[in-house]
Structure 1
Amino acid sequence: MNIPTFLSALTGGDLPATAVAEERCLMPPIGCGEPLVDEDGTARVFWDESEAARYQAEWRITGLCPGCQDSLGGEGDE
Structure 2
Amino acid sequence: MSIPSFLAALSGGDLPVDAVREERCLREPIGCGLPLVAEDGTARVFWDADEAARYQAEWRITGLCPDCQDRIEAGEDL
TM class by shorter chain equals: over 0.9
Distance 1:46 1:2 in 2: 34
Kindly state the Cα deviation for residue 73 of structure 1 after the two structures are TM-superposed: 1.5
Task: Provide the TM-score with structure 1 as the length reference.
Answer: 0.93
2:12 is the alignment partner of 1:5: no
Q: TM-score, length-normalised on structure 2?
A: 0.93
For structure 1, the residue ranges without an aligned partner over 5 or more in a row are none
Aligned residue in 2 for 1:15:
15
Count of aligned pairs between the two proteins: 74
> Helix, strand or coil: the match of 1:73?
helix
The gaps in structure 2 that reach 5 residues or longer are none
Runs of 4+ residues deviating >2 angstroms: none
Aligned position for 1:32: 32
Q: CA deviation at 1:71?
A: 0.4
> How far 1:17 moved relative to its partner?
0.2
How far the C-alpha of 1:23 sits from its partner, in A, is 0.1
SS in 1 for 2:73: coil
Q: Distance in 1 between matches of 2:72 and 2:9?
A: 21
Match of 2:44 in 1: 44
Structure 1 vs Structure 2: percent identity of aligned residues?
76
The residue that corresponds to 1:53 in the other structure is: 53
Match of 1:69 in 2: 69
